[in-house]
Amino acid sequence: MKLRHYIFVFLVSQVLNYSNLLGQTYGDFAYIVTNNEVKLTSYEGFSGTISIPSQINGVPVTTLGAQLFRFSSASNIIIPVSIKNIEDLAFQNCTNLNTISIPSNVTNIGNNAFQECKKLKEISLPAGITKVSWAMFQYCNELEIVNLPSGVTRIYGFAFDNCPKLKNINIPNGVTRMDMSAFNGCSDLETIEIPFSLNVLEDNVFSNCPKLKYVYFQGNAPTRGSNIFFSSAPIIYYEAGATGWLSNFAGRPVLQKGTFRLFVNSDNIKGTVSSNPQGEFFNSGSQVSLTANPKNGFIFINWSGDFNSSSQSINIVVNTNVVVTANYTQDIQDNDGDGLSNYAEYATYNTNPNLKDSNSDGVEDGQAVLMGYDPKINFSNLVSYPPAGLYTTNQIYNLGMGNLVLQKNTNGTFTLDYDIEQSSDLLTWLPYQALSLPLSGLPTNKAFLRIKMKSPQSSSNAPVTSSPNPPSATPF
């Protein structure tokens, strides 16, 4: 009888163990029991707020299993203090999750745990956490505030990859390593302080962080991978007494803390800036004088950026990093009153903005432009040569023909109407004679007519005006 009793107890025990391994349900949860602890393995509910049980049938719930709430639509998940372990992908793609509190007993959070929680804005990791796991917060689009405990020693790859609203993060002393692309794509990240405990920065840690201005290292120069600051442009600062620092680190300028940068922007096409003393980096408290120097055709407007002034010369005390911009615009004044702006004279025509007639040919610069000419063309030969006031045959021949009108009459014939004008200076033209030339004997069905000015070389008569363009053909 005793033997059969023992066999029965053994079989019951085995059935219970098998049932625990296979899994049981509690409300919307499935779970298993191991070593008198409950691990939740799946969730089938659709509630907006999920309260995780702290125990099931008197057994404490200690583990949130892998992918437990993956793709859940819940906006709030309440985790009991009994939880110690959160496995991989537990909250991955909970796109509505905006608030969550991790209890103090949790000592492990797995890879990709909060990946693509796109509405999560703030989170604090408990004191027992020693690592920020692989891609833990990757693609958390709204994440702004992360509080890391002092016990963290490593930030794994892609931990905060593409968290575009993360502006600042406190890296605790004790972190010895940041892995590849840990902060890649944190496009709002502006400053970051690296503790003296850090030894290694892997590839692309701070790549694609366009707003990153300053990185402060408390300790010695770490071992680094490649493309640490790809598409990022910070200034690197280190503490006095730290070793291993050269003039640049991963392609970025390196300065001892207490040294600041004065960065001056200027469109060199429009103007330059002179500095006294010259340089870009200055010790704290240095005074620097800046003067804006507009180029010909431009005028100075103001300084903008971290220092605003309309004075052309300014003095700046450098006690922080400063960025200023000298702004210029086109000079639209007309110093000589010839109808051309100073900018047009300097930049477009290369003439003297203080002289109406830059080349003293008798024609003002603005008048030449109105006639369609470059004001640097010398008109003096046309106006005064030959001395008798007559014009050479070639000069007259190269003038325009003027207005010509071909008019069809009601009887099918045509009349060529043209005006002859006269001038004494080639600038002002007055009517001289209006003529009409009847055209007869043309074919009645179809004909082409062209007006061809006779070449001076082929005629001994007085020269006639001619067009520099080829003879025109007019259908009718």
The answer on 222 and 155 residing in a single domain is: yes
Q: Is the pLDDT of residue 108 over 60?
A: yes
Q: For 10-19, 71-80, 348-357, 373-382, which range has the lowest pLDDT when averaged over its residues?
A: 10-19
* 4 vs 63: which has the higher pLDDT: 63
C-beta atoms surrounding 336 within 10 Å: 19
- Does 301 reside within a domain? yes
Tell me the mean pLDDT in the region 318-322: 89
Q: What angle do CA 164, 169, 173 make, to 5 degrees?
A: 150
* Any domain includes 342: no
The token duo for 282 is 């200055």
Structural domain tally of the chain?
3
Separation of CA 329 from chain center: 23
Whether residues 147 and 213 fall in one domain:
yes
* pLDDT for the residue 155: 98
Report the predicted TM-score, pTM, of the whole model to 2 decimal places: 0.60
How far is the C-alpha of 141 from the C-alpha of 114, rounded, in Å?
11
Residues 32 and 101 placed together within one structural domain of the fold? yes
> Does residue 140 have a pLDDT over 50?
yes
Range of the domain at 296: 261-330
CA proximity to 146, closest of 184, 106, 102: 102
Q: Given pLDDT bands bounded at 50, 70 and 90, which one contains residue 451? A: low
Shared domain for 246 and 279, answered yes or no, is no
In a domain, 353, yes or no: no
Segment 48-70 shows an average pLDDT of: 97
End position of a domain, from candidates 294, 314, 330: 330
In a shared domain, residues 55 and 164: yes
CA–CA distances in Å: residue 195 to residues 167, 189, 216: 18, 17, 9
Element (H, E) at 315: strand 313-318
Contact 305/341 with Cβ under 8 angstroms?
A: no
Instruction: Answer whether residue 362 shows pLDDT above 70.
Output: yes
Instruction: Report the CATH number at residue 244.
Output: 3.80.10.10
221 and 286 fall within a common domain: no
Confidence at 279, pLDDT banded by 50, 70, 90 = confident
384 Cβ contact list (under 8 Å, min separation 6): 362
- Both 104 and 144 in one domain: the answer is yes
Residue 12 maps to a domain: no
Last residue of a domain, one of 197, 229, 258: 258
CB 218 within 8 A of CB 201: no
Q: What is the pLDDT of residues 367-395, one digit of tens each?
A: 888 878 889 988 776 555 444 444 555 55
The answer to which of 323-327, 382-386, 417-421 has the lowest mean pLDDT is 382-386
**Residue where a domain stops, chosen among 218, 241, 258:** 258
> Is 382 a member of any domain?
no
Proportion of the chain above pLDDT 90, given as a percent: 67
- Cis bond leading into 468, ω under 30°? no
CA angle (54, 56, 57) in 5-degree steps: 135
* Over residues 21-49, mean pLDDT: 92
Mean pLDDT of the chain: 86
pLDDT over 60 (residue 65): yes
Q: Determine, yes or no, domain membership for 356.
A: no
Return the closest-CA partner of residue 133 out of 116, 151, 158.
158
